[in-house]
DNA sequence: TGTAATTTGGTATGGTTCATAACAATTATC
DNA sequence: GATAATTGTTATGAACCATACCAAATTACA
C-alpha cells in the first residue's frame, strides 16, 4: 500500500499538478535506471549497431547480413536451417535475408545431392571479396574505436561477459 | 581480388557442393563472430530482456513500460516530450505506450496550467504501488541472478562500460 | 499588438523485425 | 509401404521504429 504524496485525503477528485515548474530546464534523473543492466545494455547495443551501419555503409551490409557471410565462410556446405539456428534467426525470416544476399550475388543456394530438401549455402567469389573488405572495415573503423574507448583489457573482459550472459543466463 | 577455392578454373558453370557431409552433426564455428562486440551485445541483450519479461510476468510490465514508470517516479511533473526524449522514444510512438499505462490506471496525463499544450505525467497510487513491486521483482529475481552469474565486481564494471558506450561512442 | 515561427500531443502511415501456422517436396521411421 | 519428421517457403499478424503532417497553444519579433 503506497501513500499518495498529497498531504490530505482528496479521495479521487481534482488533483493539483505538482511544483510550479521550478526545475523546468533541468536534466532528468535517470535514478535506478542507470543500475538496470538491461537498460544500459540496450542503449549501448543500439549505439554499437548504429556505428556498425555507418562503418559498413560503403558495402551496404547490415549486422545480420554480415554475420551470415562470416558464418558461411567459416562453415561452408551448411544448409539454411543450420545457419539460421546458430544465428538465432527463425527459418521463415531467414528466407528473405538470403534472397537479398543471393540477388546481390554474394552467395548461392545449391540443392544438396544427399538431401534434396535442403539448400547448401556457399559464398560466391564476390561474396568472399565483399566479406574480406567488410572484415577490414569492421576491424579498423568499428571495433578499433570501441577498443580505444574502453581500453583493450576492458574490451576483452566485456566480450567475455557478453558471451557468458548469452550462453548461461 | 579473391581467388575461388576451386582448384581449376570452372568459369561460372556447374559447381560441386563441397565435402560429402563429413561434419554433418557438428557444432558450427562462430569464428570471428565471437570477437564482434555488437553480435555478443545483441544476443546478451535479448537474453536479459527475455529474463526481465519472465520475472515481470506477474505485473505484466515490459522493459519500456517499467522504464517509464521508474523515470516518472524520479521526475514527477514532467511532460511527455521530456520523458520520451530521455528514454530515446519518439513522441509519436510514446503516445500508445502511455495510453496503455493510463488505461491500466498506473499514471495520469494532466494538462499543465502553465502551458496548456503539454501534459504533466504523474504516477497514480496504483502506479507507485506497482512500481514498488516491480522494483522488488527486478532486484531479487532479475538483477540478482545477473550479479550471481558475473560476480558483483564484474557486474558493476559492466554497468560502467555500457554507460560509457551509450554516452561516448 | 499582431503575425510568423515554434512547440506539444496526436494521427496516419510505412518500414523493419519477429513470431506462428500451414504447405509441398523430400526423407526417415517402423 | 504407410506414417511421421524435416526443409525451404509463403502468408500473415504483432511489435517496434521512423517520418510526415495537423490543430492547439505558446513564443518570438517586427
Average pLDDT over residues B67-76: 97
Specify the nucleotide whose C1' lies closest to residue B82 (CA). Answer: C8
Q: Is A147 helix (H, G, I), strand (E, B) or coil?
A: helix
* Residue A21 burial (CB count, 10 A): 16
Residue listed under C-alpha cell 578499433: A144
Specify the nucleotide whose C1' lies closest to residue B91 (CA). Answer: C9
Mean pLDDT of chain A, nearest integer: 89
Residues of chain A positioned with their CB less than 8 A from the CB of B110: 15, 17
Mean pLDDT of chain B, nearest integer: 88
- CA-based torsion, B111, B114, B116, B121: positive or negative: negative
Closest-CA residue of chain A to B169: A47
pLDDT of residue A8: 34
Q: Which nucleotides of strand C lie under 7 Å from a protein CB? A: 7-13, 17-22, 25-28
Closest-CA residue of chain B to A125: B4
Residue closest to A110 by CA, chosen among B3, B18, B29, B27: B18
pLDDT < 50 stretches in chain A: 1-22
pLDDT grade, residue B5 (50/70/90)? very low
Residue listed under C-alpha cell 544500459: A40
- By DSSP bridging, strand A107-111 and strand A119-123 are antiparallel
How many contacts does A have with B, using Cβ atoms within 8 A? Answer: 229
This model's pTM is above 0.85: yes
- Chain B contact present for A86, CB below 8 A: yes
pLDDT of residue A27: 85
pLDDT grade, residue B24 (50/70/90)? low
pLDDT of residue A5: 32
Q: How far apart are CA A94 and CA A79, in angstroms?
A: 11
pLDDT of residue B23: 56
pLDDT tens profile B134-148: 999 999 999 999 999
Q: How far apart are CA B36 and CA A30, in angstroms?
A: 29
Q: Tell which of B12, B15, B37 to mutate to test the A interface (max A CBs under 10 Å).
A: B37
H helix count then E strand count, chain A: 7, 2
Is the C-beta of residue A108 closer than 7 Å to nucleic acid chain D?
Answer: no
Q: How far apart are CA A76 and CA B27, in angstroms?
A: 13
As a whole-number percent, the residues of chain A with pLDDT over 70 amount to 85
- Strand boundaries in A29-114, DSSP class E: 107-111
pLDDT tens profile B35-61: 999 999 999 999 999 999 999 999 999
Task: State the first-to-last Cα distance of chain B, in angstroms, to the nearest integer.
Answer: 33
Q: How far apart are CA B66 and CA B88, in angstroms?
A: 14
CA distance B17 to chain A (A): 7
pLDDT tens profile B72-104: 999 999 999 999 999 999 999 999 999 999 999
Residues of chain A positioned with their CB less than 8 A from the CB of B61: none
Contact B17 A112 (CB under 8 A): yes
pLDDT of residue B13: 38
Q: Where are the alpha helices (DSSP H) in B37-143?
A: 37-55, 63-74, 80-87, 91-103, 125-137
Q: Tell which of B1, B2, B51, B128 to mutate to test the A interface (max A CBs under 10 Å).
A: B2
The number of C-alpha atoms within 13 Å of B95 and in the hemisphere containing its C-beta is: 4
Amino acid at each position: 500500500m503506497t501513500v499518495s504524496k498529497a498531504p490530505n485525503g482528496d479521495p479521487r477528485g481534482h488533483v493539483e499538478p505538482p511544483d510550479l515548474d521550478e526545475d523546468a530546464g533541468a536534466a532528468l534523473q535517470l535514478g535506478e535506471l542507470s543500475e538496470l543492466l538491461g537498460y544500459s545494455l540496450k542503449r549501448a547495443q543500439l549505439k554499437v549497431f548504429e556505428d556498425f551501419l555507418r562503418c559498413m555503409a560503403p558495402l551496404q551490409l547490415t549486422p545480420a547480413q554480415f554475420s551470415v557471410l562470416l558464418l558461411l565462410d567459416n562453415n561452408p556446405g551448411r544448409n539454411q536451417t543450420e545457419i539460421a539456428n546458430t544465428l538465432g534467426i527463425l527459418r521463415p525470416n531467414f528466407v528473405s535475408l538470403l534472397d537479398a544476399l543471393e540477388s546481390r550475388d554474394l552467395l548461392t543456394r545449391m540443392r544438396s545431392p544427399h538431401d534434396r530438401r535442403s539448400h547448401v549455402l556457399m559464398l560466391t567469389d564476390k561474396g568472399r571479396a565483399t566479406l574480406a573488405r567488410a572484415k577490414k572495415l569492421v576491424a579498423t573503423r568499428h571495433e578499433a574505436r570501441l577498443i580505444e574507448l574502453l581500453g583493450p583489457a576492458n574490451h576483452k573482459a566485456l566480450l567475455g561477459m557478453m558471451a557468458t550472459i548469452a550462453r548461461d543466463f
